[in-house]
Structure 1
Amino acid sequence: MDPEPTEQDADAQEDVEPVKEKASLDKAEEALDPCLTHSADNTAFDQAFDYLNTKFCQPAIWFDSFFVDDRTQEDARAGTLVRWTNDFSYYFKEGFKYRANLNARFNLPGVNQKLKVIIDSQGEDDPFAFLKGPDDEGERDIGLRYDWYAKDRVSFNIKANFKPKLEARWRYTYPISQGTITRLTQKIYQEKKVTGESTEFDIEHSFDEDFLLRWSVVAQYENRDNGWEFGSSVNLYHYISSKQALNYIASIYGVDTPYHYVENARIAITYRQNFARDWLFFEITPEYNWSKEIDTDRLDQAIITFRLEVMFQNI
């Protein structure tokens, strides 16, 4: 016959329960934290990578999530994104312009979580999308993306749309130090009779939790006699609060066919704020833009854009 539990046994059991609950909560937080990295190997080198990647990821993923930049976000977290933007722009030499765009990324019910439907009316899959101003027309895109592999430093996915276009994207991320990380992205694609490739390199430095500096450079080549395209940008992200942030931008974009020239250059500041509801945002972006088309004179002008955005994530 088992002895009846004493008061000491009961007290000990009460002490154990909070420990178990805390351990369960810690594990749950780890599962939800997209920044935590666990390499397959347990060498000192891999442990160092995990530490640096986790530490650096915190500010980088917040800024990319807040400003909706897929360069970090698409590998760090799966789930649904629905984004409807309305841009009201005043061009000091061309007048008022309005643009509306819808972007979405979601899983199909009952289908492998690695397979996503992509709807893009803004051309954000363009490797030069982050360089362009409010008046640049992007390619409309509806297709499927399969996230084949995403582990440690490496990710790989395949995308197909109805143009038709087939694209493979490989990305490698490497932390240099606790505050500095590099990222190399390579894309190869086939669109009807056009074969192309793009190479993008990013280096990011986190000064602290409030400031993140990112330098990006990208080059693209296609076999349809339009030569090389080149672009580069510098972004300084400034955290103000959990609902407010600033993005200081300087970018340049050029081509080498039919001759070498800079097609677009811009400097801008974007203030972004979440207001009223978790899914409502507005942006104000004053900028100065230098643009040139083939056989036209360069157009220099100031632009101010107000954006109203509805965004749902992970619904």
Structure 2
Amino acid sequence: MRFLILSIALLGSTAYAEDNEVDYSSCHSQPDSAEILDSAYHYVNSRFCQPAIWFDNFFVDERIDEDANAGSLVRWRNDFSYVEGKGYQYKTRFKARFHLPKVNKRIKLVFESDDESDLLDLFPKNGEDAENTLALRYDWLNNERTSFNIKLTAHPGAEARLRYTYPINDDLIFRATQKIYQKKRLTGESTELDLDYSLSPEFLLRWNNFATYEDDIKGWELGTGVTLYHHLTEKQAINYRLSTTGTNRPFHYISNTHASMTYRENILRPWFYYEFTPEYNWSREPETSREGEFKATIRLEILFHNI
């Protein structure tokens, strides 16, 4: 599948469109938020006046983190949750990314958890918390539509990621991401296909799809989900999520169906955020019946970028 995505990237590069004037007043992208974006990412989104650039920045989507060359980032999240039948839980996650300017502008020092992925919000998983790890990331390629980087972790492990973005028209953007990774004795690959559709400057509909294969159990995991983003003010936004995940190990079945809503607000200081997320998961493990579980989470987040 990764060869298919590479072929799409090569074919799509021949369809490069000329720059046109854009009325930025109808977009949510502001100069301060655009500072942390690489010019390639900003070109694709702001040129086609996609509110995706604002939503990804406000919700700190991985497109901001992985496709932006400029700026450093420190993110500390604290989740206080109530889980039906299990009581109250607390989880904290810390992520930091810094340039190494005296070494090479393309190299970044990254500190994050093994499961650091925004797909986990749309496709939640059960299991133990992942460990934090230190990594070096090298941004090999980053142009108008294509980005490619390599990451080496201290566990040890390695990951190569290729992302290709193609604007189909003024309101619709296609994005393909291919990852190949090695974690200790585990080798795997993940393919993600996304579509962003701009309903209006206030609403964005995103359709995410992924397929992951890991050789330790020689099994696939598949998922599809939609997210509707709603812009309220420059400091408030809501997203609505619905997804389902399936696997073929040890047999074919739907492992989880997820529904949630997240309200996010920037409060008190420019670097302090508050979130409230009620969600419901219908999950199933092999040889067990499907069970429903309600969860409500309050997140307090400290976010610094361009430090």
Q: TM-score, length-normalised on structure 2?
A: 0.82
Q: How does 1:134-149 map to 2 (within 5 A)?
A: 137-149=129-141
How many angstroms apart in 2 are the aligned matches of 1:249 and 1:96? 23
Once the 2 structures are TM-superposed, how far is the Cα of residue 214 of structure 1 from its aligned partner?
0.3
1:122–1:225 CA distance, 2 compared to 1 (3 A): closer
Kindly report which structure 2 residues correspond to 1:88-99, keeping only aligned pairs within 5 A, or say none.
88-99=80-91
Structure 1: gaps spanning 5 or more residues = 1-28, 39-49
In the TM superposition, what whole-angstrom CA distance separates every residue of 1:256-294 from its partner, at most 9, and x where no partner exists? 111112222110000000000001001001111112223
Instruction: Name the aligned partner's letter for residue 156 of structure 2.
Output: P
Aligned to 1:249: 241
Instruction: Tell me which residue corresponds to 1:131.
Output: 123
Q: Which residue of 1 aligns with 2:74?
A: 82
Match of 1:238 among 230, 234, 238: 230
Q: Classify the secondary structure of the residue corresponding to 2:80.
A: strand
Cα displacement string for residues 60-86 of structure 1 (whole angstroms, at most 9, x for unaligned residues): 111111111113552145211111111
> Is the 8 Å Cα contact of residues 89 and 134 (structure 1) preserved in structure 2?
no
Match of 2:142 in 1: 150
Give, in whole Å, the separation in 1 of the partners of 2:106 and 2:248: 38
**Mapped partners of 1:214, 1:82: distance in 2:** 26
Question: Counterpart in 1 of 2:208?
Answer: 216
Q: Is 1:176 paired with 2:183?
A: no
Distance change >3 Å, CA 37–CA 124, structure 1 → 2:
closer
How far apart are the structure 2 equivalents of 1:36 and 1:154?
Answer: 12
> For 1:134 and 1:276, how far apart are their aligned partners in 2?
33
Contact 1:262 1:292 in 2 (8 A): yes
CA distance in 2, matches of 1:37, 1:86: 32
1:65 maps to which residue? 57
CA contact (8 A) 2:192 2:209 kept: yes
Residue 257 of structure 2 corresponds to residue 265 of structure 1? yes
- For residues 267 and 121 of structure 2, the distance between their equivalents in structure 1, rounded to whole angstroms, comes to 26
Q: How far off is 1:301 after superposition? A: 1.9
Asked if the contact 2:36/2:306 (under 8 Å) is kept, the reply is: no
Q: CA contact under 8 A between 2:112 and 2:133: conserved in structure 1?
A: yes
* Alpha-carbon offset, residue 152 of structure 1: 1.2
Assess if the C-alpha contact under 8 Å between 2:51 and 2:202 holds in 1. Answer: yes
Give the Cα–Cα distance (whole angstroms) in 2 for the partners of residues 256 and 119 of structure 1. 33
Q: Indicate if the aligned counterparts of 1:126 and 1:138 stay in contact, CA closer than 8 A.
A: no
Task: Measure the CA separation in 2 of the matches of 1:309 and 1:287.
Answer: 19
**Aligned residues: CA RMSD:** 2.5
Q: Secondary structure at the match of 2:297?
A: strand
Q: Could you tell me which amino acid in structure 2 is paired with residue 243 of structure 1?
A: K
Select between 171-180 and 192-201 the one with higher mean Cα deviation.
192-201
Q: Deviations over 1:100-157 (max 9, x none)?
A: 1111111135232211111113622486564116977345332111111100111110
Q: Which is further off, 109-118 or 220-229? A: 109-118
Call closer, same or farther: CA 1:128–1:287 in 2, change over 3 Å.
closer
* Distance in 2, Cα, partners of 1:307 & 1:250: 20
| Aligned-partner Cα distance in 1 for 2:207–2:118 | 18
Residue type matched to 2:194 in 1? D
Which residue of structure 2 lines up, in the alignment, with residue 22 of structure 1? none
Give the C-alpha shift of residue 216 in structure 1: 0.5
Q: Distance in 2 between matches of 1:134 and 1:196?
A: 19
TM norm structure 1: 0.80
Does the 8 A contact of 2:36 with 2:70 survive in 1? no
Q: Does residue 292 in structure 1 map to residue 284 in structure 2?
A: yes
Amino acid at match of 1:232: T
Percent identical among aligned pairs is 49
Q: Distance in 2 between matches of 1:179 and 1:76?
A: 22
Cα distance change on mapping 1:194 and 1:69 into 2, 3 Å: same
2:120 counterpart of 1:111? no
CA distance in 1, matches of 2:79, 2:149: 31
**Higher Rg:** 1
Q: Which residue of 2 aligns with 1:161?
A: 153
